[in-house]
Structure 1
Amino acid sequence: MSYRDITVHLTLDPRNNARTQLAIALARRFAAQLTGLYTVPPPNVPYYMGEYIPTELIQKQMDDAQHASAGTREAFIAACTAANLPHRWRQSDLAPVEALRVQARTSDIVIVGQPDPEPSDPGAIPYGTDVLPQELALQAGRPVLAVPHIGAFSDVGRRILVAWNGKREAARAVHDAMPLLKGAESVVVLTFGPERKGRAPQEEIVDLLRRHGIRAEGVISTAGGAKVGHALLTEAQKQQCDLIVMGAFGHSRLREMVFGGVTETVLGAMTLPILLSN
């Protein structure tokens, strides 16, 4: 298994170039075709102000959105051409999750950005990206690589942390990440829980990875008083990892509010790329 078709999400977002450069690095590593999917933001018209907004203002917003897409397209094509990389451009008026869900079905992996976790102007968040990447990971049926809002990531996957709890989503994430795991210098499989006698809970998956020729080791963390999501990020930093692989878990909004969510916590505080799979 390898990644032969990679999709990167682009929109009216200053982080387009950071995602593109990481996507190009991965596409070159796996000899993959790179697809740039641009989602065009709709006019920013509050529902309660619709009838009072001049049509000229709406048209200007639409024209500006099209102009921005043209500039992004030129930058994407130029970067791919300079890297001598097979590429294609797609553009959609659909909401990002819907457009990417459709595109993902014919891609091996999708690269998206983390929404700004602390926006000074919530209205400036690119349309529809506030629910990426978790919603996409739950719907796409393909692995989703989320890139942090801050920081430069020219490459990933040299030292990988796998969050392992033995559940279906975690198993799917491991197998979806196999091309990256096989190329890693080292892989740390992290399990949370008390120390046990006999075989540790992650030893079976560590053995499987080793049979694939992957240099893997298991680590158990009690997480202390920290939320599991924050403890996961802390352990990744401690292990000097540049990528986390984890299952994307979906719960009802009520359950998320009452108990919190590991996936949501990690995506809100991420400092390194996260590969999600469901």
Structure 2
Amino acid sequence: MVSFLPLSRAVAENLHDGDAVAFEGFTHLIPTAAAHEAIRQGFSELTLIRMTPDIIYDQMIGMGMARKIIFSYLGNPGVGLLRRARDAIENGFPRRIEIEEHSHAGMANAYAAGAAGLPCAVFRGYRGAGLAAVNPNIRSVTCPFTGEVLAAVPAIRPDVTFIHAQKADRKGNVLVEGIIGIQKEAILAAKRAVVTVEEVVDNFDDFHPNLTVLPSWTIAAIAVVPGGSHPSYTHGYYIRDNAAYLEWDEIAADRDRFQDWMRRNVLEGRADDFAVRVKHLRTAA
């Protein structure tokens, strides 16, 4: 049965050193507050999984938490590099990390296979691409019916997945509005799932029935964290903080400045700080 918990407890009870963990979100609904809580609790030896790692993974890598990353795009969206990730990959600072790069199609299919309980994903992909030469987990299989050679990748089955969403009802069902990425599949593929939400409502009776709803039985814990996606946006609640992404490029470029920013804004911060950060970005629901 899903539990409503403070974020610190939800993270402590579901994330462990050495876990394979996905903090999933696409364009908006990026679970920043959950990632910051994981940083405060100091987890280590993590395998970080995400289709589009952005600044929260830059922060976690820069804090030495990651052993490996599995991804299909690595960058500060709309700006450029993830400088802490690049420093780790190229210079081993603060530690060397293993990388496993896929295409978006490869990652999406791998999550879907994990959600379906399958050992691998089989799909058309990687033709003419060089990723298979550097990623031994990209292989090929021959269709037993047509003889067509297809791509195959291992299913993604995180130990725990974190996402952010707009609403949960009091029974623990979760509603997602706006652009949908791979969050639903990432939840279903995981052994445990934690969702941060903007608010809890009595029920979903007043919402369109085709909105994405994750039933309560797919979720281990829900934490109410208004603003918990900042600096990304949450559709219907607040807009993207573009200035924060631009600022991050300068912060992450310097090791000492990065550490000072992390100390002041994350290590000494709290989950309820997020509501303050998005106050000027609020939009009509």
Instruction: Say whether the fold is shared (TM-score over 0.5).
Output: no
- Name which structure has the greater RCO, CA cutoff 8 Å, separation 6+: 2
TM-score, normalised to structure 2, is: 0.30
More helix by share: 1
Structure index of larger Rg: 1
TM-score, normalised to structure 1, is: 0.30
